[in-house]
Amino acid sequence: MRKNVLRTSVLTVVALLAMSGAALAIVLRTGPIEVVGEGGFSPTTLPKQHTAPIILHGEGRIGTTDGSLPPILKTLTVWFDKHGAVVTKGLPYCTKGKLAATTTAVARKVCAGSIVGEGSGTALIAFPEQKPFKASSPITIFNAAPHDGNPTVLAHAYLSVPAPTTYIVPVEIQKVHNGPFGFRTEAQIPKIAGGSGIPLEGRLTIGKKWTYKGKKLSYANASCPSGKLQAKVETEFTDTTRLSGVILKHCTGVN
């Protein structure tokens, strides 16, 4: 089964953009390559001393300024602000086995309790000597068993073209101590459609809430002790092009 990290790569960019605050737009460029995104989180007024539930939402796009086909994304690394927190206590796990060979509707049914995010993604399929065409799919993010003690999700997508295929990609949310950053994700992008698939755009909302043993919990949480949250993204494409940037977004901290 081919793994479609295309969706995960776009989603990770979106997650980064969303982590940075409301009404945010970012543009990263080198030569004709351009990465654009908008995103936010709500509420933007958060406690200073402890985390509170938030809803993440955002969208991202990869393209070029001259109309040429962009290179294929190879590696995407994202660092998130240390004042965020991911909670999974009492949240059911989904597994690759349950999601194997499933459509979006079936996947969301068999692991309904594990869904922490939903969105969509689009790729450009550019086979040699054929006119490129777009292929889109809903995206579902499922909570999965932790890896090395770190929260992990499974990104699921189902495309009917160029052939009906289910894609399942694990993404680990690593805990780190790196200056202002406390979390890190890295996606190694495999060949899509035999190397002819190009990530174009995606959007995502994350914000599951549930009750466990009488206590209300939230998957995504954050605090605002300094009036800002920040994140960093680094992208590497198959032509060795690299893009990186740091995003700062103001928030309002309350006691």
- Residues 214, 204: Cα–Cα separation, whole Å: 29
Global pTM value: 0.84
Q: Please answer whether residues 72 and 238 qualify as being in contact, where contact means their C-beta atoms are separated by less than 8 angstroms.
A: yes
Q: How far is CA 76 from the centre of its chain?
A: 10
**Sign of the C-alpha dihedral computed for residues 175, 158, 71 and 39 taken in this order:** negative
The half-sphere exposure of 54 on its side-chain side, counting CA atoms within 13 A, is 30
Residue 165 to residues 6, 103, 130, Cα–Cα distance (Å): 14, 9, 21
pLDDT at 116: 97
- Pairing type for strands 45-47 and 252-254 reads parallel
CB-based burial, 74-102: b 16+ in 10 Å, e otherwise: bbbbbbbbbbbbbbbeebebbeeebbeeb
Q: How much helix, strand and coil, in percent to the nearest 5, is found in the chain?
A: 15, 55, 30
pLDDT for the residue numbered 5: 34
Q: 17 by DSSP, 3-state: which?
A: helix
How would you list the strands of the sheet with 197-206, edge to edge?
24-30, 33-42, 55-64, 197-206, 115-125, 133-147, 150-159, 165-172
Residue 197 main-chain phi, psi, to 5 deg: -90, 130
Per-block mean pLDDT, blocks of 10 residues, the chain (255 long): 35 38 67 82 93 86 93 83 94 97 97 96 90 92 96 91 85 93 81 83 90 96 93 85 83 95
Question: For residues 86 and 183, what is the distance between their CA atoms, to the nearest angstrom?
Answer: 10
The residue length of the chain stands at 255
Query: What pLDDT score was predicted for residue 24?
Result: 53
pLDDT value of position 42: 87
> What is the model's pLDDT at position 25?
66
pLDDT on residue 255: 92
Listing DSSP states for 70-139 in one string gives PPPEEEEEEEEETTEEE--TTPPP--HHHHTT--HHHHHHHTGGGEEEEEEEEEEE--TTS--EEEEEEE
Tell me what pLDDT residue 56 has.
81
